[in-house]
Amino acid sequence: MNYKKNVGRLDQMIRYGLAIVFLFLSFLVNLWFFIGTIVFFISAYFEFCPIYKIFGLSTCKIKDK
């Protein structure tokens, strides 16, 4: 998979935090929050956000080769 990273370090930590919050919400409120958990975790892990790509945004300071 060839992709350019567009999620910076702070953005990545926020996404991990939101994944944890959504995980708790999936148990407490509604299981549908688990989808958000998966989305936030995957985008943080791979440091890539497809929505950022669509709008040409990036929070990553270091450019890929």
Indicate the SS3 state at residue 13: helix
Tens of pLDDT, residues 43-57: 999 999 999 999 999
Tens of pLDDT, residues 4-63: 899 999 999 999 999 999 999 999 999 999 999 999 999 999 999 999 999 999 999 876
Other residues' Cβ atoms within 10 Å of the Cβ of residue 61? 8
pTM of the model as a whole: 0.85
